[in-house]
Chains A and B, each alone.
Chain A
Amino acid sequence: MEKTKELQKIESQFETFQILNEDGEVVNKKAMPKLSDEQLKELMKRMVYTRIWDQRAISLNRQGRLGFYAPVAGQEASMIGTQFALEKQDWILPGYRDIPQIVFHGVPLEQAFLWSRGHLAGGQMPEGVNVMMPQIIIGAQITQTAGVAMGLKRKNKDAVAITYTGDGGASQGDFYEGMNFAGAYNVPAIFVVQNNRFAISVPVEKQSAAKTIAQKAVAAGIHGVQVDGMDILAVLAMTEEARKRALEGNGPTLIETLTYRYGPHTMAGDDPTRYRTSDLDDEWEKKDPLVRFRKFLEGKNLWSEEEENEVVEQAKEDIKEAIKKADAAPKQKVTDLIDLMFEDQPHNLVEQMEDYKAKESK
């Protein structure tokens, strides 16, 4: 396809925003988010923690002890960076891969594991933790985000709603509908697309003729930005800016983070060697968010091997504990399910409740 000059001009405006290059050097000093040394270290801790958690989760899954799991390694900067920009009162509407964000927003680790196992306690968000259950239908969370953001604005909550999807999700009609509604009503929403280059197996080049996903914001009349998704400082800075913009009444933002998932789509039999080359894997691993940020922190004398080991040990310990707690969760019963269909049970479920109570007491 030969694109018109007009179109090329529009598409060329969506340049990748970066603060740290692959060598951990600051290339955009004036955009640096204002963070204390402790906060900078916290970002690193969370990324290391998430990497270890991911490795353990994969291993637990292979042992048949976890259930559904969508690996996150490679996407830590996109996930941790966006969540770090939020305040407690903000709402997260995650997709099924976005478990680190909701855990750092207050969902206990054992609950995340219960969600993986398909236990109803997995969706029972604790009081004051403004998180929706991880969405399975690609795009459904995006239209809901417009609604949550409208609700927050109407209740004067000084909070935003942030949602996540991937490059594949950006092809859904709901992706446009959600952004368009949020823009039309000027509600405080942030739409994050973690463009990890593959929707299961389909490469992003086959998803759309658009050069960037960020430019899709233009159609909805909202701000759009493409960020180096392996650069946690860039991701954080753009999310902070989006949050501020939203709360000042200047509209929603679409943030496209360029990233890569090192692992398979999920642990349910996906084999990335069918659709990706190891050259491409190598190319992206050179951009690794942890390596890059570690170099940056080491340059400031803020990170040591000991500190890293401490986080690794802490993560392993927490996961062990969380799995123990998840194992202790009560077994699922059909009567629990029946009980949760309606506030007041209609007669057909009352009858079926009796049947299952009898069955379960045998």
Chain B
Amino acid sequence: MAQMTMIQAITDALRVELKNNEDVLVFGEDVGQNGGVFRATEGLQKEFGEERVFDTPLAESGIGGLAVGLGVTGFRPVMEIQFFGFVFEVFDAIAAQMARMRYRSGGVYSSPVTIRSPFGGGVKTPELHADSLEGLMAQTPGVKVVIPSTPYDAKGLLISAIRDNDPVVYLEHMKLYRSFRGEVPEGEYTIPLGKADIKREGKDISIITYGAMVHSSLKAAEELAKEGIEAEVIDLMTISPLDMETIIASVEKTNRAIVVQEAQKQAGIAANVVAEINDRAILSLEAPVLRVTSPDTVYPFASAEDVWLPSYKDIVEKAKQVIEF
């Protein structure tokens, strides 16, 4: 098996699907000759031609509209938003158009669109390039939201997203692009959307998280283990819809949980997970489910990122609070 970075796994997934289905089209700003600003589409235009992998004019709303139109005429668009901080420019196309296509047409049309975009913080971008806006998408009925945390997951989830007949927002944490390598099988394999993955088993507390925070949570779990606390780390992988089955099974086993997200606290994914646990498993809980998040401010400029983002130490501290409740 090949060792790949997450960005290589993403390129590999795109290659597999471009080969697999001639209706798959990959487009966005700089994705052609340049291979994308992060090189996610490196070499794909050369391999599949300008008809299949192409640059767009610099206009996110136009890219979204193009994807909607291609979707209803029989194509499977994989569009890139260069940075997810630019999603506001294309929000109508995603939330009002793609997400409602099936309903508005009474099931006649659909939007089998994959919206790929780098997101998240910690890599010292210019302002408005880093953010955790996944909550906006998760609150949009009609789209699925997928966030991988490893190269293996990234490839299998992206292939599933492209094959899905409804719009899928697929967010790639910039910090994870090249931070480590992992084993990635060659050829095609899929990981089902809407399923979480237990990244570390444990019996004392469930740490429910996604994206880059999976790695901070794993590090926190190691620290906790030194003190005899065995934490279970659940990687949601899909944040909409949530895999409640896996979450509840874990909470019923550990009786304690914290939810960790890089995004701001209010109205976020973590709040939703807490509410779902309360709905379904409150009698299994020995302590309140607490959250580790960033504060309810706008995303900071680069030099304040490190102090703003949640760290593994915050996770350790919050886990202990719940254990000692």
Task: Choose one: A125, A140, A150, A342; the contact of B92 (CB below 8 Å).
Answer: A140
* Interface flag for B202 (CB, 8 Å): no
Contact check, B70 vs A147: say whether CB atoms are below 8 A apart: yes
Q: How far, in whole Å, are A180 and B63 apart by their CA atoms in the complex? A: 11
Task: Choose one: A155, A348, A349; the contact of B74 (CB below 8 Å).
Answer: A155
B28, chain A: closest CB distance, angstroms: 13
Q: How far, in whole Å, are A174 and B92 apart by their CA atoms in the complex? A: 11
* Contact flag A154-B142 (CB < 8 Å), given A178-B65, A340-B106, A342-B166: no
Contact check, A140 vs B93: say whether CB atoms are below 8 A apart: yes
Contact check, A150 vs B69: say whether CB atoms are below 8 A apart: yes
When distances are taken between beta carbons in the complex, the residues of chain A under 8 Å from B126 are: none
Q: How far, in whole Å, are A239 and B189 apart by their CA atoms in the complex? A: 49
Q: How far, in whole Å, are A342 and B141 apart by their CA atoms in the complex? A: 9
When distances are taken between beta carbons in the complex, the residues of chain B under 8 Å from A340 are: 102-103, 106-107
Q: How far, in whole Å, are A56 and B249 apart by their CA atoms in the complex? A: 60
When distances are taken between beta carbons in the complex, the residues of chain A under 8 Å from B86 are: none
Contact check, A121 vs B142: say whether CB atoms are below 8 A apart: no
* Contact flag A147-B73 (CB < 8 Å), given A140-B96, A177-B61, A341-B141: yes
* Contact flag A343-B110 (CB < 8 Å), given A148-B73, A154-B75: yes
When distances are taken between beta carbons in the complex, the residues of chain A under 8 Å from B194 are: 346-347
A38-58 interface code vs B (CB 8 A; 1 in, 0 out): 000000000000000000000
When distances are taken between beta carbons in the complex, the residues of chain A under 8 Å from B144 are: 342, 346
When distances are taken between beta carbons in the complex, the residues of chain B under 8 Å from A194 are: none
* Interface flag for B133 (CB, 8 Å): no
* Interface flag for B187 (CB, 8 Å): no
When distances are taken between beta carbons in the complex, the residues of chain B under 8 Å from A147 are: 65-73
Contact check, B72 vs A132: say whether CB atoms are below 8 A apart: yes
* Interface flag for A184 (CB, 8 Å): yes
* Contact flag A140-B106 (CB < 8 Å), given A154-B75, A342-B142: no
When distances are taken between beta carbons in the complex, the residues of chain A under 8 Å from B68 are: 143-144, 147
Within 8 A of B (CB), among A131-181: 132-133, 137, 140, 142-152, 154-155, 161, 173-174, 177-178, 180-181
Q: How far, in whole Å, are A184 and B27 apart by their CA atoms in the complex? A: 14
Within 8 A of A (CB), among B51-99: 51, 56-57, 59, 61-62, 64-75, 92-93, 96-97
* Interface flag for B179 (CB, 8 Å): no
Contact check, B241 vs A346: say whether CB atoms are below 8 A apart: yes
Q: How large is the interface on B (under 10, 10 to 19, 20 to 34, 35 or more residues)?
A: 35 or more
Task: Identify the closest chain A residue to B71 (Cβ).
Answer: A147
Contact check, A140 vs B97: say whether CB atoms are below 8 A apart: yes
Task: Choose one: B69, B103, B106, B241; the contact of A161 (CB below 8 Å).
Answer: B69
Q: How far, in whole Å, are A121 and B67 apart by their CA atoms in the complex? A: 24
When distances are taken between beta carbons in the complex, the residues of chain A under 8 Å from B104 are: 123, 133
Task: Identify the closest chain A residue to B102 (Cβ).
Answer: A340
When distances are taken between beta carbons in the complex, the residues of chain B under 8 Å from A133 are: 104-105
Q: How far, in whole Å, are A120 and B102 apart by their CA atoms in the complex? A: 10
Task: Choose one: B59, B92, B103; the contact of A181 (CB below 8 Å).
Answer: B59
Q: How far, in whole Å, are A122 and B80 apart by their CA atoms in the complex? A: 32
| Dominant secondary structure of chain A at its interface with chain B | helix
Task: Identify the closest chain A residue to B166 (Cβ).
Answer: A342
Contact check, A121 vs B106: say whether CB atoms are below 8 A apart: yes
* Interface flag for B244 (CB, 8 Å): yes
* Interface flag for B2 (CB, 8 Å): no
* Interface flag for B324 (CB, 8 Å): no
Q: How far, in whole Å, are A193 and B171 apart by their CA atoms in the complex? A: 37
B75, chain A: closest CB distance, angstroms: 6
Task: Identify the closest chain A residue to B142 (Cβ).
Answer: A341
* Interface flag for B245 (CB, 8 Å): yes
Q: How far, in whole Å, are A149 and B142 apart by their CA atoms in the complex? A: 25
When distances are taken between beta carbons in the complex, the residues of chain B under 8 Å from A155 are: 73-74
For A122, A152, A181, A349, the residue with the greatest tally of chain B CB atoms inside 10 Å of its CB is A181
Within 8 A of A (CB), among B209-253: 241-245
Contact check, B241 vs A348: say whether CB atoms are below 8 A apart: yes
A244-267 interface code vs B (CB 8 A; 1 in, 0 out): 000000000000000000000000
A264-279 interface code vs B (CB 8 A; 1 in, 0 out): 0000000000000000
Contact check, A152 vs B65: say whether CB atoms are below 8 A apart: no
* Interface flag for A202 (CB, 8 Å): no
When distances are taken between beta carbons in the complex, the residues of chain A under 8 Å from B241 are: 346-349
* Contact flag A143-B65 (CB < 8 Å), given A151-B72, A342-B142, A348-B241: yes
* Interface flag for A124 (CB, 8 Å): yes
Q: How far, in whole Å, are A125 and B106 apart by their CA atoms in the complex? A: 8
When distances are taken between beta carbons in the complex, the residues of chain A under 8 Å from B61 are: 143, 173-174, 177
When distances are taken between beta carbons in the complex, the residues of chain A under 8 Å from B21 are: none
When distances are taken between beta carbons in the complex, the residues of chain A under 8 Å from B64 are: 143
Q: How far, in whole Å, are A342 and B140 apart by their CA atoms in the complex? A: 13
When distances are taken between beta carbons in the complex, the residues of chain B under 8 Å from A142 are: 65
* Interface flag for B108 (CB, 8 Å): yes
Task: Identify the closest chain B residue to A93 (Cβ).
Answer: B69
A90, chain B: closest CB distance, angstroms: 12
Contact check, B62 vs A146: say whether CB atoms are below 8 A apart: yes
Task: Choose one: B69, B73, B102; the contact of A341 (CB below 8 Å).
Answer: B102
Task: Choose one: B51, B70, B105, B243; the contact of A123 (CB below 8 Å).
Answer: B105
B102, chain A: closest CB distance, angstroms: 5
* Interface flag for A337 (CB, 8 Å): yes
Task: Identify the closest chain B residue to A126 (Cβ).
Answer: B108
Contact check, B96 vs A347: say whether CB atoms are below 8 A apart: no
20 additional A-B residue pairs with CB within 8 Å, beyond A155-B73, A180-B59, A337-B103? A123-B105, A124-B106, A132-B109, A140-B97, A143-B68, A145-B65, A146-B62, A146-B69, A147-B67, A147-B69, A149-B69, A150-B66, A154-B73, A181-B66, A340-B102, A340-B106, A342-B142, A342-B144, A343-B110, A347-B243
18 A-B pairs with C-beta separation under 8 A:
A121-B106, A123-B108, A124-B107, A124-B108, A145-B65, A146-B66, A147-B71, A150-B73, A151-B70, A151-B73, A173-B61, A177-B61, A178-B65, A181-B65, A341-B102, A341-B142, A343-B102, A347-B243
